[in-house]
Amino acid sequence: MTSVIVFGNNFQDNSLSYIEKLLATLCRCEVPTMVERSFFDYINGRITVPAEISCYDGGDPGSDTLALSIGGDGTFLRTAAMVLDYGLPVMGVNAGHLGYLSAAPISDVEQIVDHIVTGNYNIIDRTMVEVEVPGRETLYGLNEVAVLKLDTASMITASTTVNGFFLANYQGDGLIVSTPTGSTGYAVSVGGPIVAPTAPVFVIAPVATHSLTMRPMVVSDSAVIEIMTTSREESFLLSVDGRSMSLPVATPLTIRKAPFVTKMVTLPFHNFAETLRVKLLWGVDPR
């Protein structure tokens, strides 16, 4: 039987009764269950945690394991990063606001456990992006890489090449390179297109560009994208799925498709079009 590791954030006071029911139902159905250590510390004492449940402190839990991410999209992205090395499929359980990446709301406890027990779910490979920073560990993201000016800084220029050919000097607040999964996140908020999750492309989208002719564009996900920044300031911000670091201006960045994927769990009755309609109100009559 598939085992489960439960991940979550520490802002779940409104969902504690559902979390308690979820853990109890998993145990009643004899699903081997662990809870990630920091989340266990948060819920322990706030709810009754079944004695059969142990803590997960990292390491390879085995191939027949499913990660349950309780929270919103930010929690899903953190969970995906934590289990990336082990190739675990991740099921998002929405206890946040939008929950675009989630498979089901936390209120659907019985249905969630039933799908886990019966194996009645789909696993879809989602493209990831990697960014190489000289002298640092390679970073990976499911949504996007964003090159941004610091909060108090003047604009930056992101000189960008694709497969070695010069593309443009993007002048403004920054530049986003988004996966199809991330196209409905930060990228769409700056005017980027919505991309089907399995499309083999990246979106390059400028942030608050100082030229109206600089529009978002789509390139193949086989492309190698290189970015070099210039600015009056000494530093810029690199953000990968919300994990940010300050880097010296003129640090070269190399962005490409990662050699592995995030395995996202979806339920049989969910599809991309329905998710757009329900969660992004796609095509809803404004009257």
| Alpha-carbon distances of 177 from 131, 158, 186, 207, 281, rounded to whole Å | 10, 12, 10, 11, 24
Give, as one character, the DSSP assignment of residue 46.
T
Token digits of residue 93: 């359980």
The backbone region for 86, taken as left when phi is positive above 0, alpha when psi lies in -120 to 50, beta otherwise, is: alpha
Number of H-type helices and E-type strands within the chain = 6, 18
Residues annotated as catalytic are 73
Are residues 79 and 241 in contact, defined by beta-carbon separation less than 8 angstroms?
A: no
**Inter-CA distances, 82 with 60, 77, 175, 234, Å:** 11, 9, 26, 32
